[in-house]
Amino acid sequence: MRYFREELDELQSRLLEMGGLVENAIHRSIATLVDRDEEQAQEVFRNEARINQMEIDIDDLAVRLIARHQPMAGDLRFLTAIIKINNDLERMGDLAINIVERAIVSMQQPSVKPLVDIPPMARMVESMVRRSLDAFVKRDAEVARSILLSDDAVDELRDNVIEELIGIMEQDPTTVRRALSLILITRSLERLADHATNIAEDVIFLVQGVDVRHHAEETS
């Protein structure tokens, strides 16, 4: 049984390592956009394969532990949470790649506007990701609940950014293609925030046994 505990710890460490890589990818994807720095982009591409491989390994290990040890309620809930969070992290890695790809295209054109709102939105999303993994490690439902609130703030920022970009496109149609890129990057940021929110909901379920999936509106 002591061996099982060590395996659970090992699994959590791996998940956190993967989370660190994903956080890093998100940070660099936005740096690519804001600083027009292609070096950052290369780093994101380099890490992608590693994130993908970690997802497969974590998944396999978690399912094997469930099958082998027939864990009781608490441990089973922990292992199920790992599988779900793993899945969210992998998709977040994909979203960082999407952002980087668009940022590289944007780089070759003049800026459509100073990127006033996207950096703070990105910082908020990064903080949500970090706090969601922190909440998981500390089994802290309070922190997890605060993430559900941040998600609403991110949605509001997204609406502002998109409205502003629509206005710019309407006034100067030569900006359409570039502004559309920024809109799609904004949508990717929003989806990153949604994944962090999923993780927070998994943490709440893990700690309190309350399933808040599909009820984010009511709990936030």
Among 67, 108, 114, 217, contact with a second copy (rule: CB under 8 A): 67
Q: Is position 16 an interface residue for a second copy (rule: CB under 8 A)? A: no
Q: Which is nearer to a second copy, 77 or 130 (CB)?
A: 77
CB of 120 vs a second copy, minimal distance in Å:
23
DSSP 116-184: -SHHHHHHHHHHHHHHHHHHHHHT-HHHHHHHHHHHHHHHHHHHHHHHHHHHHHHH-GGGHHHHHHHHH
CB of 35 vs a second copy, minimal distance in Å:
26
Q: How far is CA 19 from the centre of its chain?
A: 9
Q: Enter the tokens of residue 126.
A: 């990064």
Window 141 to 180, contacts with a second copy (CB under 8 A): 166, 169-171, 173-174, 176-177, 180
**Number of residues in contact with a second copy under rule CB under 8 A:** 32
Among 87, 127, 219, 220, contact with a second copy (rule: CB under 8 A): 87
Q: Give the number of other CB atoms < 10 A from CB of residue 29.
A: 29
Q: Give the number of other CB atoms < 10 A from CB of residue 1.
A: 5
Between CA 82 and CA 77 the distance in angstroms is 9
CB of 183 vs a second copy, minimal distance in Å:
7
Q: Where along the sequence are the contacts to a second copy (CB under 8 A)?
A: 49, 52-53, 55-56, 59, 63, 66-68, 70-71, 76, 80, 83-84, 87, 166, 169-171, 173-174, 176-177, 180, 183-184, 187, 211, 213-214
